[in-house]
Structure 1
Amino acid sequence: MEATSGMPRPELLQVADAVAREKGIDRDEVLGAMEQAIQKAGRSRYGHEHDIRAHIDRKTGEIKLARFIEVTDDIENDFTQMSLEQARIRDENINLGEFLIDPLPPIDFGRIAAQTAKQVIVQKVRDAERERQFEEYKDRTDEVINGVVKRVEFGNVLVDIGRAEAILRREELIPRETVRQGDRVRALILDVRREQRGPQIFLSRTHPTFMAKLFAQEVPEIYDGIIEIKSVARDPGSRAKISVLSSDSSIDPVGACVGMRGSRVQAVVAELQGEKIDIIQWSEDPATFVVNALAPAEVTKVVLDEETNRIEVVVPDDQLSLAIGRRGQNVRLASQLTGWDIDILTEEDESERRQEEARKRAEMFIKALDVDEVIAHLLVAEGFTSIEEVGYVPLAELAEIEGFEEEIAEELRNRARTFLSEEAERLQKRREELKVADDLVEFNGLSLAVVVRLGENDVKTLEDFADLASDELIEYIGDADNMTMDQANDLIMEARRKLGWFEGLEDETDETSEDAVEGEEA
């Protein structure tokens, strides 16, 4: 059976077209919202327990209203379902799974029904508009956009960006920056995400990418890909550093970003409320890059430690405050820009420290090898840092040291080996006294000296070791090994894996991953 049709209603189609144009959403979504509103009014009139559906003809605007009854063997609701036997009394050709359709007369909307229908339509149109906004902006993160300030609420700025509204939170505004209703603002689309109240578009003027995008707008060579921005570090509203690299050797990347008489960089500075910008030549060599990044301070010496990702920089005494910067700003930004932890020393500090290290090594050689200060200092001057190096260096290399004859070199090497052997026996004996378990001794990555220190701190099994925190491990072993926090963490995690602490968790993770993959495939 067909549902009865009402009169043609072209005005419905005109309203739908107008709303669709105004809100920038699909005409079918507006008509769908109208259908849901009519269904809701129909259920209010005929009973909410019935399955009442409405359809608006997309060409004429006619409204069809009908009650649907499903034909099924498994009846759970007498209002919306019917057995095949009963259904065949009304329609002998009907089959299971099909619907009996009872046409209903068009509704004469009352005031309350009309108000309810209006609310449904408004809500559905709003939902459709929000979905359109999300789809339009979800792939536009990291894009710079212009907008007009609609209002300021508790420091947060609501910005009209054309077909949507975005929020510029207080912490994403440049410090001491003030904006008023009607002001034009330029900002980075930081994030677009769905929330309970609909899609939210978040903007930022403090993010490093915002500065990079501003330079791309001002410097054609960056837009064209000839100059690449490698990294950006910002202290918003105060100072920033940006590193650049040119793929064309004939183009100076720093000069191109500065522009004629500083015109290009000044345009960015003006947009960022006077933020001072250091433009730095990027270098593949970390030492050179760090030296460039610390500009305008001069650097006399650089020492890299790739294992800990630290770099030690020595500057003249009168350059220390310039290198560090006000409240540590210069060195902090240089560290963010390069990705290296930077330690700054003056030449005097570095000299004192070097002398102290040399004195300690000399004392170690005097005590372990039973030699005088002259020989100990000669070993230090030649770069020897441990007894092991003296004991196992080729004899010819040791004999090459000025003032060392072959007999002296051989004697030194023998004394070193004797000391190492006696020290190993002493440590082994101490380890047995402490009753340190074999599983800790045999664990890869721990020297016997470290094992003894651990035993003295009541860490005597691999399980005790696995239960440590990284800072505890470093505190317990002291100067027995030059261990970094990362190395300590890696060793503890390896011990936990060896003991099988993560087996159950790994299985659960694998199962979760498999379920996720199956879900995606489905």
Structure 2
Amino acid sequence: MAITSANQLELLQTAEAVAREKMIDPSLVVEAMEESLARAAKSRYGSEMDIRVSIDRKTGRATFTRVRTVVEDDELENYQAEMTVEQAKQYMDDPKVGDTFVEEVPPVEMGRIAAQSAKQVILQKVREAERDRQYEEFKDRAGTIINGVVKREEYGNVIVDVGRGEGILRRNEKIGRESYRNGDRIRCYIKDVRRETRGPQIFLSRTAPEFMAELFKMEVPEIYDGIIEIKAVARDPGSRAKIAVISYDGSIDPVGACVGMRGSRVQAVVNELQGEKIDIIPWNEDVPTFLVNALQPAEVSKVVLDEDAERIEVVVPDEQLSLAIGRRGQNVRLASQLTGLDIDIMTEEEESARRQKEFEERTQLFMDTLDLDEFFAQLLVAEGFTNLEEVAYVELDELLVIDGVDEGTAEELQTRAREFLEEQAKKALENARALGAEDSLIDFEGLTPQMVEVLAKDGVKTLEDFATCADWELAGGWTTVDGERIKDDGLLEPFDVSLEEAQHLVMTARVLLGWVDPTELEAEEEDGEDDDLEGVEEEQV
């Protein structure tokens, strides 16, 4: 097949037809044709030649050209596509390295193999252009709801026709035991859009919490307008869900707006989610208050929040325990997901027993260490003293408020406490030295003898050893594994060393050893403070 005047216009007509069918830019099809013709020409003139084809967008005329580039003498490798400055002087005036010499060559006669190859190139380019178009169309729609038609089901995964592409609803993204037939209409949440070698992959979901949030946005105009905001969503797909909302208009009740007249709005969402029960909860900045709301319909007697551990203890009446936990732990699990905290639920009886045990342990501690009778030790505990350090180093006035304690008694209590602590420190120091702890660690400011003893038992015996420790190894922390928070015990955690204090101790040790330049450390701290200030200013703006 030769590219003659008879079929020049056919190139443009074919390009237009293909572009309309695949809904892509006609110029992309023409570029694919140019590449395919150039490849066919190379098979005729030689693969080492740099043959290029240009198709006129108006007339359809294909121009074949050979391009040669001027290179340095010692860089000449391809004699068919390159030439030296001296050789270029035959064709050009004052040639320079990097210049190109272009000459037109006769059109090629395309045989059957060449034509087939050209067709394959065009098809491949058109497929790539079609995939790029699909990706560009759907990549910005991730995080939205889309309506589609079920095409087929493969191994439990549903293939959905979403217009100009196909989406996949995986088995684990379906609600409960949903089943679909070909032609069924389906509404899904676009969870992710990825560009892959086999084309763009559109992953759909009906179990994502965001799906419920988007459904409420469609049903509740106040959410769409931004008057009401969905702060958190937790779902047990197909069974139960909790959604936390807040209103920025004092005259609008966020829960009532989401429920709608006679429950019409929430019922529309429930029907779409196969009867999933939905608890709509008012969001509150105060975490304990928010948690009390989240555990509805159970009543809560008391909440104790541990912000460092991101855990919360909830005390409920004995008869409310099963309601607070829910069937198979569903209620407390959803409340935990909604608040982002680990929740421990106990009854009033269990909490009372725990407090009584702590009271007895502290009473026994003061009896054994301060040589007190039970009544006097109980007075100390009842006044809020929990350990010997508080008794030894507290202001004298705080001891004098206890009934029956005068100045002499208070001084005697502090003397006994300090003597006991000093004796304990002495024993700990002796044990640490026996374990091999060196003076560099013992004399390090910030570590007590008891801390040094614990470190030495774990093999940390020098300041160098201490400087290599990570802050969480000292202060402890929490690690999330498979969605569950697991406690990491720290060496100095029994001494109430916080993560910030551990960081400071380790960095101080590194500075003393010369591992870290103190000026650089100060600069980093100043940068951190500046960033914090900028963040505050942005929030104020």
Q: TM-score of the superposition, structure 1-length normalised?
A: 0.87
> What amino acid sits opposite 2:454 in the alignment?
R
Take 1:207 and 1:127, find their aligned partners in 2: how far apart are those partners? 31
Q: 2-side partners of 1:215 and 1:340: how far apart?
A: 25
Paired residue total: 501
- Asked if the contact 1:450/1:480 (under 8 Å) is kept, the reply is no
Alignment map for 1:433-448 (pairs within 5 Å) = 433-441=434-442, 446-448=447-449
Which residue of structure 2 aligns with residue 201 of structure 1? 202
Map 1:42-121 onto structure 2 (within 5 A).
42-74=41-73, 75-90=76-91, 97-121=98-122
* Equivalence map 1:237-316=2 (5 Å): 237-316=238-317
Deviations for 1:74-133, whole angstroms, at most 9, x for unmatched residues? 421112223444444456687654444443333343332222111111110111111122
Alignment of 1:145 onto 2:146: yes
Which residue identity is paired with 1:320?
L
CA contact (8 A) 1:146 1:161 kept: yes
Question: For the structure 1 residues 280 and 475, does the alpha-carbon distance in structure 2 shift closer, same or farther, using more than 3 Å as the test?
Answer: closer
Output one character per residue of 1:362-420: Cα deviation in whole Å (capped at 9) or x when no partner: 00111111110001111111111111212222222222223333433333233223322
- Counterparts of 2:475 and 2:226, CA distance in 1: 49
Letter in 2 for 1:214: L
Q: CA deviation at 1:453?
A: 2.8
CA distance in 2, matches of 1:397, 1:13: 96
One-letter identity of the residue aligned with 2:59:
T
Equivalent residue, structure 2, for 1:324: 325
* DSSP-derived class of the 1:436 partner: coil
Amino acid in structure 2 at the alignment position of 1:396: D
Q: Is the 8 A contact 1:67 1:104 kept in 2?
A: yes
Partner of 2:284, secondary structure, is coil
Asked if the contact 1:5/1:64 (under 8 Å) is kept, the reply is no
Q: Distance in 2 between matches of 1:81 and 1:59?
A: 32
Query: How far did 1:497 drift?
Result: 6.4
Distance 1:500 1:222 in 2: 57
In 2: Cα distance, 1:187 partner to 1:309 partner: 34
Listed as ranges, the matches of 1:169-180 within 5 Å are 169-180=170-181
Alpha-carbon spacing, 1:55–1:492, altered in 2? closer, same or farther (3 Å): farther
Q: Quick one: which amino acid aligns to residue 330 of structure 1?
A: N
1:308 Cα deviation from its structure 2 partner: 1.6
Structure 1 residues 478 and 57: CA distance shift in structure 2, 3 A: closer
Q: 1:293-312: CA deviations, max 9, x gaps?
A: 11111110111112222111
Report how far residue 288 of structure 1 moved: 0.3
Residue pair 2:220, 2:257 contacting (<8 A) in 1 also: yes
3-state SS in 2 of match to 1:409? helix
| Counterparts of residues 151-230 of structure 1 (less than 5 Å) | 151-230=152-231
SS of 1:343's partner is strand
Query: What is the aligned partner in structure 1 of residue 526 from structure 2?
Result: none
- Partner residue in 2 for 1:411: 412
373-382 or 137-146: which moved more?
Answer: 137-146
Counterpart of 2:174 in structure 1: which amino acid?
L
User: Deviation per CA, 1:213-236, whole angstroms, max 9, x where unpaired?
Assistant: 111111111001010111111222
Residue-by-residue CA offset, 1:34-61 (whole Å, 9 max, x unaligned): 1111111212222222222111100111
The answer to whether the aligner puts 1:21 opposite 2:20 as a matched pair is yes
Contact 1:134 1:192 in 2 (8 A): yes
Give yes or no for contact 1:496–1:502 (8 Å, CA) kept in 2. no
Contact 2:446 / 2:505 at 8 angstroms: preserved in 1? no
- The gaps in structure 1 that reach 5 residues or longer are 507-522
Q: CA 1:52–1:456 in structure 2 vs 1: closer, same or farther (change >3 Å)?
A: closer
What secondary structure is seen at the aligned counterpart in 1 of 2:345? strand
Deviation for aligned residue 1:349: 0.9
Bigger shift: 25-34 or 433-442? Answer: 433-442
Q: Is the 8 A contact 1:6 1:64 kept in 2?
A: no
Spell out, residue by residue over 1:262-312, the C-alpha distance to the aligned partner (whole angstroms, 9 max, x if none): 211121122222222111111111110111111111110111112222111
> 1:40 maps to which residue?
39
- What secondary structure, in the 3-state scheme, does the structure 2 residue paired with 1:188 have? strand
Residue 435 of structure 1 contacts residue 460 of structure 1 at CA under 8 Å; is this kept in 2? yes
Amino acid at match of 1:51: D
1:344 matches 2:358? no
Q: Name the structure 2 match of 1:518.
A: none
CA gap 1:383/1:94 in 2 versus in 1, 3 angstroms: closer
Check whether the contact 1:7–1:62 (CA below 8 A) recurs between aligned residues: no
Report the more deviating stretch, 486-495 or 379-388: 486-495
Instruction: Out of 25-34 and 411-420, give the one that drifted further.
Output: 411-420
- What's the CA shift string for 1:440-474, capped at 9, x where partnerless? 34556644323223334544234555468849987
Asked if 2 retains the 8 angstrom alpha-carbon contact of 1:6 and 1:63, the reply is no
**Cα gap change, 1:271/1:309 in structure 2, threshold over 3 Å: closer, same or farther?**
same
Which residue matches 2:495? 481
Letter in 2 for 1:27: P
Q: Equivalents in 2 of 1:400, 1:117: separation in Å?
A: 98
Query: Offset at 1:157?
Result: 2.4
> SS at 1:202's partner residue?
strand
Which whole-Å CA distance do the structure 2 matches of 1:390 and 1:142 have between them? 58
* Structure 1, 320-329 or 274-283: larger mean CA deviation: 320-329
User: Identity percentage over the alignment?
Assistant: 59
Partner amino acid, structure 2, of 1:43? K
**For 1:43, what is the secondary structure of its paired residue?**
helix
- 5 Å matches for 1:367-386? 367-386=368-387
Aligned twin of 1:236? 237
In the alignment, what sits opposite 1:511? Answer: none
What does residue 131 of structure 1 align with? Answer: 132
Q: CA deviation at 1:145?
A: 1.4
Q: Counterpart amino acid of 1:395?
A: L
Q: Superposition RMSD on alpha carbons, in Å?
A: 3.1
Question: SS of the counterpart of 1:141?
Answer: coil
Q: Using the TM superposition, give the Cα deviation of residue 149 of structure 1 relative to its aligned residue in structure 2, in angstroms.
A: 2.1
Q: Describe the SS at the equivalent of 2:191.
A: strand
| Superposition deviation, residue 154 in structure 1 | 2.1
Paired with 1:462 and 1:154, the residues of 2 have a C-alpha distance of 60
Paired with 1:35 and 1:464, the residues of 2 have a C-alpha distance of: 68
Q: Residues of 2 paired with 1:59 and 1:29: CA distance?
A: 15
Counterpart of 1:354 in structure 2 is: 355
2 CA distance for matches of 1:7 and 1:100? Answer: 30
Superposition TM-score, scaled by structure 2 size: 0.84
The separation in 1 between residues aligned to 2:333 and 2:515, in whole angstroms, is: 39
CA distance in 2, matches of 1:77, 1:67: 14
Return the letter of the residue paired with 1:149: V
Change (3 A) 1:496 1:346: farther
Q: Which amino acid aligns with 1:267?
A: A
